């Protein structure tokens, strides 16, 4: 997980429709506050065609370099992914075993800063309606009349805070540095088996590239030039492979790289962009 920078202005379709759509939800709540306390209340159901419009999803994907905001997997080649609400729209849970409480953060359903792009595993299987606070229930915003700044969320929002201050990686394993890091690793299942396997393989490739990229920096070199030429077939091919390894190594910690957070923790000397 790394910090992301969202486009400051919402996409055009959201900018056009959000205010009126939010007002409709607020009016529905005001008309029957008692009837809106159940999670998933029909009158508070936001319109997916607005918050997940094509240009909204495309802008989120571009801002996040086509990666899941939570696990940093590049998955769009195999799954469409979700427009995710950081503060859940239809109900919330303080813990994973709690019943879903209502209403959700209905007034934020179309709020640009509340929208993120996530893989289906992180969003639908893991986080779902989970939104724990360090100061629940006293600090919980329950309606559009409440002050969100009084909340102390335990889940990290990479569009609002830098996750590197809250979690790090030892090899491929995510490790917490703060209570927020611990809660986020658990909620987003950042150490689930499939992720650990992918990150381990990524780390193996990065280490191989790092060795090749820096092979002649040691004195004496790690391996004789003649052996390398024999391995790659020619001096030209060896030179090409070293150049490619240097480029790959330098790019491993860039914002667009898959699992950049893990790479930054394991290769702190590499630049970040």
Which of these, 9, 113, 132, lies nearest to 69 by C-alpha position? 113
Distance CA 195, CA 254 (A): 19
Residue ranges per domain, the chain?
A: 12-149, 199-266
Rounded to an integer, the average pLDDT of 98-104 is 95
Task: Among 48-57, 114-123, 225-234, name the one with the lowest average pLDDT.
Answer: 225-234
Whole-number pLDDT of residue 220: 64
The values of phi and psi at residue 115, to 5°, are -100, 135
- Diameter of the chain by CA atoms? 81
Whole-number pLDDT of residue 123: 95
Listed in sequence order, the DSSP H helices in 94-251 are: 120, 179-187, 193-213, 225-232, 235-251
Encoding tokens for residue 175?
Answer: 């490790």
Rg (CA), the chain: 23
Model pTM score = 0.89
State what percent of residues in the chain have pLDDT above 90: 78
Do residues 108 and 85 lie in contact, with contact meaning Cβ atoms separated by under 8 Å?
A: yes
Length of the chain: 273
Rounded to an integer, the average pLDDT of 86-92 is 97
Whole-number pLDDT of residue 95: 96
Q: Is residue 226's pLDDT more than 80?
A: no
Distance CA 76, CA 88 (A): 23
Whole-number pLDDT of residue 216: 66
Whole-number pLDDT of residue 222: 62
What pLDDT digit, counting tens, does each position of 111-135 carry?
Answer: 999 999 999 999 999 999 999 999 9
Q: What is the mean pLDDT of the chain?
A: 92
Rounded to an integer, the average pLDDT of 93-118 is 97
Distance CA 154, CA 42 (A): 28
The most confident of the ranges 210-214, 234-238, 266-270 is: 266-270
CA dihedral angle for residue 53, residue 116, residue 4, residue 102, rounded to 10 degrees: 150
Distance CA 137, CA 145 (A): 16
What pLDDT digit, counting tens, does each position of 137-194 carry?
Answer: 999 999 999 999 999 999 999 999 999 999 999 999 999 999 999 999 999 999 999 9
Give, to the nearest 10 degrees, the angle between helix 225-232 and helix 235-251. Answer: 90
Do residues 163 and 156 lie in contact, with contact meaning Cβ atoms separated by under 8 Å?
A: yes
Task: Among 28-37, 44-53, 223-232, 242-251, name the one with the lowest average pLDDT.
Answer: 223-232
What pLDDT digit, counting tens, does each position of 185-211 carry?
Answer: 999 999 999 999 999 999 999 988 887
């Amino acid at each position: 997980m790394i910090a992301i920078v969202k486009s400051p202005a919402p996409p055009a379709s959201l900018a056009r429709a959000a205010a009126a759509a939010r007002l409709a939800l607020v009016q529905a709540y005001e008309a029957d506050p008692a009837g809106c306390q159940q999670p998933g209340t029909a009158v508070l159901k936001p319109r997916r065609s607005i918050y997940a419009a094509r240009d909204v999803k495309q802008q989120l994907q571009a801002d996040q370099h086509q990666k899941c905001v939570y696990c940093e997997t590049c998955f769009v080649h195999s799954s469409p992914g979700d427009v995710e609400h950081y503060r859940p729209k239809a109900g919330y849970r303080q813990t994973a075993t709690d019943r879903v409480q209502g209403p959700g953060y209905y007034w934020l359903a179309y709020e640009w800063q509340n929208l993120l792009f996530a893989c289906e595993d992180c969003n639908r299987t893991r986080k779902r309606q989970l939104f724990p606070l360090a100061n629940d229930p006293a600090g919980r915003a329950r309606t559009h009349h409440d002050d969100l700044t009084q909340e102390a969320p335990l889940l990290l929002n990479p569009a609002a805070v830098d996750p590197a201050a809250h979690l790090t990686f030892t090899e491929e394993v995510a490790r917490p540095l703060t209570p927020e890091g611990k809660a986020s690793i658990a909620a987003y299942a950042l150490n689930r088996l499939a992720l650990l396997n992918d990150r381990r393989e990524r780390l193996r490739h990065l280490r191989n590239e790092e060795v090749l990229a820096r092979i002649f920096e040691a004195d004496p070199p790690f391996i004789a030039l003649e052996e390398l030429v024999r391995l790659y077939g020619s001096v030209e091919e060896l030179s090409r492979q070293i150049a490619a390894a240097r480029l790959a190594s330098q790019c491993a910690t860039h914002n667009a790289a898959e699992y950049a957070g893990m790479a930054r923790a394991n290769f702190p000397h590499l630049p970040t962009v």
